[in-house]
Amino acid sequence: AQSVTQLGSHVSVSEGALVLLRCNYSSSVPPYLFWYVQYPNQGLQLLLKYTTGATLVKGINGFEAEFKKSETSFHLTKPSAHMSDAAEYFCAVIPNNAGNMLTFGGGTRLMVKP
Amino acid sequence: GAGVSQSPSNKVTEKGKDVELRCDPISGHTALYWYRQSLGQGLEFLIYFQGNSAPDKSGLPSDRFSAERTGGSVSTLTIQRTQQEDSAVYLCASSRARSLYEQYFGPGTRLTVT
C-alpha cells in the first residue's frame, strides 16, 4: 500500500526565514502528489499538486514543491515565512493506477516566530 | 461560488446512539469523498462516490458506517451505535469529473462520542 511520510510533526521558523517541509512517498510508480494546508477549525485547502509535466510546481501563497523521482520526495518550500503561514500542512498522494482517494501523511505543524 | 458545506459543525452524542452527518458538495461536482481526521489515525479515506457508479466503500472501518448520496448531490454519512473511537472530525470533499484530483474540502463536522 502507498504510504506518505512527513519528517517532523512540528517545524518552527522565524518570520522571513525559509520554510522547508519534507515529504517522502513509497511507490515504485510515481503517484500524483499534493500539498494541503489546514488552518485552525477549517477544512483542507489545496496548495499545489503534481500530476505530470514540470517537476517544479508553484502553488498559492508563494509556496512551491519539487518532485524528485530519484529521491521519492515532494518537499514544500517558501523563501520567506509570514506569520499567516502558521498552520498544519499535509502531503498527500493518489496512486496513478488506482482510484482517486487521497492518502495523507501525518501532517506538519508550522509555527512562525516574530 | 459556494464551497462544500457540512452540517452540523459540531455534534456531541452518547455512546450507542446513531448519528447522521450531511455534506453538500459544490454544485456541478460529480465526485464526493468522505474522510476522517482523528488524533490517533490522522487523515483517512472512508468512501467515494462518482456519478452513478457504485461507491467505493473500501475505507469504511466497520459495518456501523454507511453513506448514501441522493440525486448525485447531497450525501449523508451515518454511524450506527457510536463508539468513543468514532470521535473525530469528518471531512467531506468534492471534485469535478474533468479534474478528479482537485478535491475541495468542507469545514468538517466534529463528532464527540461521550
- In tens, the pLDDT along B31-73 reads 999 999 998 788 999 999 998 888 999 999 999 999 999 887 9
pLDDT for residue B53: 87
d(CA A6, CA A107): 6
pLDDT for residue B102: 87
d(CA B29, CA B95): 5
d(CA B37, CA B55): 20
Question: Any idea what the Cα angle at residue B39 is, between residues B48 and A13, rounded to 5°?
Answer: 105
Give percent above pLDDT 70 in chain A: 96
> Measured between CB atoms, which of B45, B95, B106 is closest to A43?
B106
d(CA A43, CA A47): 13
- Quote the cell numbers at residue B15: 455512546
Mutate to test the interface with B, among A36, A44, A103 (most CBs of B within 10 A): A44
- Count of all residues that appear for chain A in the document: 114
> Measured between CB atoms, which of A41, A102, A106 is closest to B103?
A102
pLDDT for residue B41: 82
Looking at the complex, report in whole angstroms how far the Cα of residue B41 sits from the nearest Cα belonging to chain A: 9
Burial (CB count <10 Å: 0-12, 13-18, 19+), residue B43: buried
Beta bridge partners of B34: B47, B92
pLDDT for residue B26: 94
Identify the DSSP state of A61: G
Pairing mode of beta strands A103-104, A73-78:
unpaired
pLDDT in tens, A28-77: 777 899 999 999 888 899 999 998 888 999 999 999 999 999 999 999 99
